[in-house]
């Protein structure tokens, strides 16, 4: 008996030692395994009663074992309460969403739903999605529901570092509010009396206490338009009587980050709008057997990209889109001729010269920061307020080099973000270039004594030329600190055609309410104006925008004044903004993303009526210094012939500096009379002095005095005789 007990004890001891060693080895392996390689084991369990009307099938389970990388004490399973999930029983071939969201995250932490269910209806009943998006139940990142998905604490919200709270920032960003688009149209069409924004796509407040100059405390939701006498919904709904609000909702909101995509350019909504990629045909190319292969509107695969490709940006930012191709004489493009990342170019004509940055290989994300794109936590009225990069950020100005600062903290934002880039990283001790808001750029730094930009996706190194090292027009006193770099370096601006809007009252549905108009885009040498920062900039001056409004019998609806009297019909109606300028004949300061190394000629500004905003024509300068006798003889006389105006259609200002165009940006305006006269006066010198480095431009006051002297007259005569 004792021998049996002894042998049993020995066997028990051997088993315990074996198990101890095995568990220790397992623990050691778990501790040394990288976070990204956490791949769950699938347990296959036969089941005959889970799918009562189907052939018995295997139930697959995913173990939700992940912890958050920067918060290892937080288990992902704690968000929804599932230690394992059965979603992959049907979605067997679905792709891993990304390295930062491995399979061990499971599905429900993002999508919601019942992870323990073994039938589709139960599993999908509680999925998180926006029913109004019209994309089914597959997108949990719509801004209307994102707080319960991407915006959960310690995911993309709830961090002590404000820059990591992406969801909060995006909701207040220009893409999230469309405040610039809304305030611009409402001001120009007389729906509000000031240029700053009052409304957004949804109501939003800035409650973090960090407010930059020009930022707003909040926005209200854009009112609902009705042409009826009573509100069609509850009393709590703000009702608008202005047709501009209907146009905004029906047409302009198509580029809102939460709007559904169009029939040709496929994209998602919310966070997925920028971080999921689609093929040109909108068809799914992955391995999930539950997703149809012939139904357009699905992303290419169930996988996110941290670095948004240009093909997504250009679906909304059309002016940049036309830099990608050469468009000539109505050349047509079909989806079959485009590759996976292409988008259909805008129709139009004109030989496009690519932006020098695009030609070198830059992508949108290589210049624009996450604060430009996703917002910096402030609510702005206009785009120029929200963008923190300038040409001077990387190139410096005529007197100084770019500002730089050293990385001293291993937890610095620029180190963390560079983990997502390709082929390089940032380290403590690196010197980084600062933005206009004194924030370190993540990919512009000092290397071997010079400033370079690095491609976030391709890892390419781009040496940056500095303005201070370049001679020429930068050194002209009349130019220094008065011109944005884009005023000389922009090769073209887009010129939109066909901007008419026709509203058919009584029709139901957006497509029926608004008659479609074919739109085209040409390109032209930029006209110039004074921008919102007080410097000369390229002017976007599209064709005059007109509105037609018809009732159910196709009769024009009357335009009513506040006193109840009719002032005309909405037939080719061009609004007047609250400051008395045209709401259809617009002028907008912009950066057209058409930068070239070569600059425009001196004559193209100082001897051009169109560059000054006067329109095409011949300038006749009168004898009176007041400019009263100065006239422009229009080249295009359609406005004169129709009796609408005595000016050319492209005119945005008169020879006397009287503004014609409405400008929705605070501080921006066409040139005044004094500026027009000074610019044209230099044109008298250009036939002989047509080089930027000509010494006469260093002191124009002294040069003008010499011009009146007998010596200059004799010199000019001698030069002309030699010719």
* pLDDT for residue 19 is more than 50: no
- Neighbouring CB atoms inside 10 A of 244's CB total 23
Instruction: Find, among 628, 394, 398, 586, the residue nearest to 493 by Cα.
Output: 586
- As a whole number, mean pLDDT of residues 351-367 equals 89
The whole-number pLDDT of residue 378 equals 95
The whole-number pLDDT of residue 518 equals 67
- As a whole number, mean pLDDT of residues 220-249 equals 75
Beta bridge partners of 617: 634
* pLDDT for residue 235 is more than 60: no
Q: Which of 28-42, 304-318, 399-413, 563-577 has the lowest mean pLDDT?
A: 28-42
Give dist(CA 616, CA 609) in Å, integer: 6
Q: How far is CA 675 from the centre of its chain?
A: 33
Length of the chain measured in residues: 723
* pLDDT for residue 384 is more than 70: yes
**Prediction pTM value:** 0.84
Both tokens assigned to 585: 């004949």
* pLDDT for residue 15 is more than 60: no
- Choice between 558 and 219, residue whose per-residue pLDDT is larger: 219
Q: How would residue 250 be classed by pLDDT, with cut points 50, 70 and 90?
A: confident
- Choice between 467 and 495, residue whose per-residue pLDDT is larger: 467
The whole-number pLDDT of residue 336 equals 32
Q: Which are the contacts of 583, defined by CB distance < 8 A and separation ≥ 6?
A: 187, 188, 189, 190, 545, 574, 575, 576, 577, 662
- Neighbouring CB atoms inside 10 A of 410's CB total 9
* pLDDT tens readout for residues 393-450: 999 999 999 999 999 999 999 999 999 999 999 999 999 999 999 999 999 999 999 9
Task: Measure Cα distances from 82 to 21, 43, 657 in Å.
Answer: 30, 15, 70
The whole-number pLDDT of residue 392 equals 96
Q: How would residue 26 be classed by pLDDT, with cut points 50, 70 and 90?
A: very low
The whole-number pLDDT of residue 497 equals 74
Give dist(CA 559, CA 554) in Å, integer: 15
Both tokens assigned to 233: 């919904």
The whole-number pLDDT of residue 344 equals 45
DSSP string, 452-513: EEE-TTT--EEE---GGG--SGGG-TTTTTTB-THHHHB--EEEEE--EEEEETT--SHHHH
Both tokens assigned to 623: 């004898």
- Choice between 640 and 368, residue whose per-residue pLDDT is larger: 368
The whole-number pLDDT of residue 226 equals 75
Q: Which are the contacts of 14, defined by CB distance < 8 A and separation ≥ 6?
A: none
The whole-number pLDDT of residue 537 equals 97
Q: How would residue 44 be classed by pLDDT, with cut points 50, 70 and 90?
A: very low
* pLDDT for residue 283 is more than 60: yes
Give dist(CA 111, CA 88) in Å, integer: 13
Give dist(CA 338, CA 281) in Å, integer: 10
Give dist(CA 557, CA 489) in Å, integer: 46
* pLDDT tens readout for residues 75-99: 999 999 999 999 999 999 999 999 9
Q: Which are the contacts of 6, defined by CB distance < 8 A and separation ≥ 6?
A: none
Q: Which of 39-43, 94-98, 427-431, 563-567 has the lowest mean pLDDT?
A: 39-43
Angle between helix 710-722 and 700-707 (nearest 10):
80
Q: Which are the contacts of 135, defined by CB distance < 8 A and separation ≥ 6?
A: 129, 260, 268, 269, 297
Give dist(CA 189, CA 193) in Å, integer: 10
Both tokens assigned to 157: 């919200």
Give dist(CA 628, CA 361) in Å, integer: 51
* pLDDT tens readout for residues 665-703: 999 999 999 999 999 999 889 988 988 889 999 999 999
- As a whole number, mean pLDDT of residues 353-378 equals 93
DSSP string, 423-436: S----TT-EEEE-T
Give dist(CA 30, CA 25) in Å, integer: 9
Mean pLDDT taken over the chain: 83
- As a whole number, mean pLDDT of residues 595-617 equals 91
Say if residue 708 is exposed, middle or buried (CB neighbours under 10 Å; 0-12, 13-18, 19+).
exposed
Q: Which of 49-58, 177-186, 195-204 has the lowest mean pLDDT?
A: 49-58
DSSP string, 436-465: TTS-EEEEEEEETTEEEEE-TTT--EEE--
Give dist(CA 680, CA 606) in Å, integer: 5
Both tokens assigned to 170: 């995006």
* pLDDT tens readout for residues 303-347: 999 999 998 888 888 654 454 444 333 333 333 333 333 444 444
The whole-number pLDDT of residue 546 equals 84
- As a whole number, mean pLDDT of residues 50-67 equals 69
CB-facing half-sphere around the CA of 274: CA atoms within 13 A: 21
Give dist(CA 252, CA 177) in Å, integer: 12
Kind and range of the H or E element at 57? strand 57-59
Question: Where is mean pLDDT largest: 48-57, 210-219, 374-383?
Answer: 374-383
């Amino acid at each position: 008996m004792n021998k049996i007990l002894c042998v049993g004890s020995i066997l028990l001891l051997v088993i315990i030692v074996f198990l101890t060693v095995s568990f220790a080895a397992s623990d050691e392996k778990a501790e040394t395994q990288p976070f990204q390689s956490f791949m769950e084991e699938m347990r296959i369990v036969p089941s005959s009663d889970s799918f009562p009307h189907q052939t018995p099938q295997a139930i697959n389970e995913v173990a939700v074992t992940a912890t958050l990388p920067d918060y290892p004490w937080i288990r992902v399973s704690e968000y929804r309460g599932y230690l394992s999930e059965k979603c992959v029983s049907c979605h067997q071939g679905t792709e891993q969403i990304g390295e930062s969201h491995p399979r061990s995250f499971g599905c429900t932490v993002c999508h919601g739903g019942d992870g323990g269910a073994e039938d589709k209806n139960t599993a999908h009943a509680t999925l998180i999605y926006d029913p109004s998006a019209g994309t089914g139940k597959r997108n949990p990142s719509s801004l209307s529901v994102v707080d319960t998905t991407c915006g959960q604490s310690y995911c993309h919200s709830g961090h002590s570092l404000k820059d990591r709270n992406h969801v909060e920032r995006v909701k207040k960003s220009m893409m999230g509010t469309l405040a610039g688009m809304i305030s611009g149209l409402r001001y120009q069409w007389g729906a509000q009396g000031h240029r700053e924004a009052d409304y957004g796509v949804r109501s939003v407040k800035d409650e973090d206490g960090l407010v930059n100059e020009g930022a707003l405390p909040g926005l209200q939701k854009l009112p609902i338009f009705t042409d009826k006498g009573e509100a069609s919904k509850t009393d709590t709904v703000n009702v608008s009587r202005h047709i501009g609000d209907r146009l905004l909702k029906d047409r302009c909101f198509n580029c809102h980050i939460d709007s559904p995509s169009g029939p040709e350019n496929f994209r998602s909504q919310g966070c997925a709008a920028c971080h999921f990629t689609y093929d040109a045909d909108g068809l799914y190319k992955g391995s999930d057997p539950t997703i149809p292969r012939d139904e357009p509107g699905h992303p290419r695969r169930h996988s996110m990209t941290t670095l948004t490709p240009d093909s997504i940006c250009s679906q909304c930012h059309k002016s940049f889109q036309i830099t990608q191709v050469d468009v000539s004489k109505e050349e047509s493009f079909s989806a079959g001729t485009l590759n996976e990342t292409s988008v259909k170019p805008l129709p139009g004509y004109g030989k496009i010269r690519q932006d020098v940055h695009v030609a070198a290989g830059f992508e949108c994300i290589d210049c624009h920061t996450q604060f430009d794109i996703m917002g910096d936590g402030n609510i702005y009225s206009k785009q120029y307020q929200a963008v923190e990069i300038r040409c001077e950020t990387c190139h410096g100005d005529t007197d100084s080099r770019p500002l730089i600062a050293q990385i001293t903290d291993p937890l610095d934002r620029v180190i963390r973000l560079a983990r997502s880039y390709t082929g390089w990283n940032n380290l403590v001790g690196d010197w980084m270039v600062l933005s206009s808001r004194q924030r370190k750029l993540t990919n512009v730094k000092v290397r071997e004594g010079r400033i370079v930009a690095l491609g976030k996706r391709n890892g390419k190194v781009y040496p940056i030329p500095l303005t201070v090292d370049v001679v020429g027009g930068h050194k002209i006193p009349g130019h220094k600190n008065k011109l944005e770099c884009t005023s000389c370096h922009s090769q073209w601006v887009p010129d939109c055609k066909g901007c008419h809007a026709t509203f058919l009252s009584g029709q139901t549905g957006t497509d029926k309410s608004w008659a479609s108009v074919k739109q085209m885009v040409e390109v032209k040498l930029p006209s110039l104006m004074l921008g919102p920062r007080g410097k000369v900039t390229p002017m976007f001056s599209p064709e005059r925008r007109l509105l037609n409004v018809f009732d159910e019998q196709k009769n024009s609806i009357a335009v009513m004044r506040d006193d109840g009297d009719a002032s005309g019909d909405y037939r080719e109606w061009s609004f007047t903004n609250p400051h008395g300028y045209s709401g259809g004949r617009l002028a907008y300061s912009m950066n057209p993303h058409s930068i070239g190394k070569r600059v425009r000629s001196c004559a193209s500004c100082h001897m051009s009526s169109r560059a000054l905003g006067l329109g095409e024509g011949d300038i006749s300068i009168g004898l009176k210094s007041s400019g009263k006798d100065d006239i422009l003889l229009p080249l295009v006389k359609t406005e004169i012939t129709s009796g609408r105006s005595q000016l050319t259609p492209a005119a945005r200002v008169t020879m006397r500096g009287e503004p014609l165009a409405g400008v929705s940006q605070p501080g921006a305006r066409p040139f005044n009379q004094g500026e027009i006269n000074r610019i044209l006066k230099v044109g008298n010198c250009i036939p002989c002095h047509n080089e930027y480095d000509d010494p006469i431009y260093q002191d124009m006051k002294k040069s003008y005095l010499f011009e009146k002297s007998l010596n200059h007259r004799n010199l000019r005569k001698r030069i002309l005789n030699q010719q």
